[in-house]
Amino acid sequence: MSPNEERLRILIAEQAAEWFVSNRAGLSAREREAFTAWLKASPVHVEEYLGLASIARDLREVGADSESSVDSIVARARAAEVEPIQPLWPRAPETEPYPFSARWRAAAATAAACVGLCLGLLAWWNFRLAPLGPAPDTAAALHFETRHGEQQTHRLPDGSILHLNTDTAVAISYSKSERILMLASGEADFEVTHEPERPFRVFAGSAEVIDIGTQFDVRLEHDLTVVTVVAGRVAVGPSSMLRERGRNAGQEPLTRFVELHADQQISVAQGVWPAAPIAVDAHRTTSWLRRQIMFDHEPLSLVATEFNRYASKPIEITTPALRDLQISGVFTTDDTDGFIAFLRSLAGVHVEVTATRIRVSRD
């Protein structure tokens, strides 16, 4: 299991626990609807909920032979109050992997097939969730996925706007004290409604981005996380999910965080941090929002890779020398035909379209 899968798994466990605990106190009609939607969003959610239910049952049994009275339990907890605060999970080194059961794997595979359900959920989210913000302490939790070539835009309950690019999965968890988004794969653009009391935190690979009122783009590709700021400022630093994620992770001093301004970008590969952010044209990075891909003297190999993120038929460069051919222009992500016509217009380039591939070679 990749660290991302693991973090996603923990996030889902946290969501399941919040629902489990709320359910005991009883849900309002609206919360009940939200709970149903959460369950419908993925079979993984169902599995996790039942897993916690069985833990709760076991916990009852732990106490079956205990002699502690209510008063003695309270006295013990009160006595501990004067001691220095203990970390919540003192014996839980965060690097230990969270083992996946075979069942969960199977469920995760099914989850991929659940896009239909997700769409229903999105409709619900867009139209019903707006008033959920001030709900007592029930965190709203969801996740969105886009298929290959698909893009989606969602308005989140706090008014922030989330754009998802092709092949992207995002898990969202809003609580009273923080807004957490986990980019599991792909690329997303965030237009964040600033709430000083409730930080907006994006976890992607080894990096964590904390919004300071802004629009920014995060792309995750294997072990590479690329953060680009379109407007405003963000703080980027090592993901606190990889460190201990205790109660008040949000209140840590942002010592190792770098501040990023508009048209600045930082790329973190396998947890290795560059000395400083680089200057980029953020308008270009986010051209996918307009269903465009923009190239300015880029090698054909890179252009093909970029097109293949959206195209149903991959572009293959069969003549190695062509890989460095410089390409400039603005293309529409879903207009492969337009791109093929453009390539055909170039001198010495031959394009062959087969049932499964688009082959580019020297004439």
Partner 1 sequence: MTEIKKSLVERLFAEHGGALQAFLYRRVHRHPDAAELAQEVYVRMLRVPNMTTVRNPEAYLYAVASNLAKEHARRARHYSNVTDIDDPLVQDQLAELPAFGGDLDREQRVKRLREVLRQLSPKCQAAVELQYWHGLSYEEIAQRLGISTNMVKKYLSQALVHCRRRMARLG
Is 119 a binding residue for partner 1 by CB under 8 A? The answer is no
Out of 68, 153, 270, 328, the only residue in the binding site for partner 1 (CB under 8 A) is 68
Q: Which amino acid is at 221?
A: E
Is 59 a binding residue for partner 1 by CB under 8 A? The answer is yes
Out of 4, 34, 42, 96, the only residue in the binding site for partner 1 (CB under 8 A) is 96
Q: How many Cβ atoms are within 10 Å of 275's Cβ, its own excluded?
A: 5
Q: Specify the stretch interacting with partner 1 by CB under 8 A; choose among 91-99, 279-287, 304-312, 316-324.
A: 91-99
For residue 132, the SS3 value is: helix
User: Cβ of residue 55: shortest distance to partner 1, in angstroms?
Assistant: 5
Out of 1, 3, 17, 242, the only residue in the binding site for partner 1 (CB under 8 A) is 17
The rounded distance, in Å, linking the Cα atoms of 125 and 26 is 22
Q: How many Cβ atoms are within 10 Å of 295's Cβ, its own excluded?
A: 19
Is 40 a binding residue for partner 1 by CB under 8 A? The answer is yes
Q: How many Cβ atoms are within 10 Å of 68's Cβ, its own excluded?
A: 11
Out of 1, 5, 52, 271, the only residue in the binding site for partner 1 (CB under 8 A) is 52
User: Cβ of residue 87: shortest distance to partner 1, in angstroms?
Assistant: 8
CB 215 within 8 A of CB 189: yes
User: Cβ of residue 309: shortest distance to partner 1, in angstroms?
Assistant: 29
Is 14 a binding residue for partner 1 by CB under 8 A? The answer is yes
The rounded distance, in Å, linking the Cα atoms of 298 and 294 is 9
User: Cβ of residue 153: shortest distance to partner 1, in angstroms?
Assistant: 25
User: Cβ of residue 57: shortest distance to partner 1, in angstroms?
Assistant: 5
Q: In what order do the strands lie in the sheet with 349-353?
A: 315-317, 358-362, 349-353
Out of 2, 28, 63, 330, the only residue in the binding site for partner 1 (CB under 8 A) is 63
Binding mask 151-190 toward partner 1 (x if CB under 8 A, else -) reads: -------------------------x--------------
Specify the DSSP element, H or E, that contains 301.
helix 300-308
Is 134 a binding residue for partner 1 by CB under 8 A? The answer is no
Out of 1, 5, 30, 51, the only residue in the binding site for partner 1 (CB under 8 A) is 51
User: Cβ of residue 90: shortest distance to partner 1, in angstroms?
Assistant: 6
| DSSP 8-state assignment for residue 346 | S
Is 346 a binding residue for partner 1 by CB under 8 A? The answer is no
Is 108 a binding residue for partner 1 by CB under 8 A? The answer is no
- Report the half-sphere exposure of 336 (CA within 13 A, side-chain side): 19
Residue 110 tokens read as 């099914």
Chain position carrying tokens 């002699």: 67
Is 90 a binding residue for partner 1 by CB under 8 A? The answer is yes
Binders of partner 1 among residues 326 to 345 (CB under 8 A) are none
Q: How many Cβ atoms are within 10 Å of 183's Cβ, its own excluded?
A: 25
# binding residues, partner 1 (CB under 8 A): 63
Binders of partner 1 among residues 223 to 262 (CB under 8 A) are 247
Is 49 a binding residue for partner 1 by CB under 8 A? The answer is yes
Q: List, as one string, the DSSP characters of 280-297.
A: --HHHHTGGGGTEEEEEE
For residue 51, the SS3 value is: helix
Is 1 a binding residue for partner 1 by CB under 8 A? The answer is no
User: Cβ of residue 18: shortest distance to partner 1, in angstroms?
Assistant: 5
> β-pairing, 264-269 with 224-238?
antiparallel
State the virtual CA torsion across 289, 293, 297, 303 in degrees, nearest 10: 130
**Which CB atom, from 64 or from 276, has the smaller least distance to partner 1?**
64
Residue 261 tokens read as 């301004």
Contacts of 236 (CB under 8 A, 6+ apart): 207, 208, 209, 210, 227, 257, 258, 260, 266, 268
- Residues forming the site for partner 1 (CB under 8 A): 10, 13-14, 17-18, 20-26, 39-40, 43, 46-47, 49-53, 55-66, 68, 70, 73-74, 76-81, 83, 85-92, 96, 98-99, 101, 116-117, 136-137, 176, 247
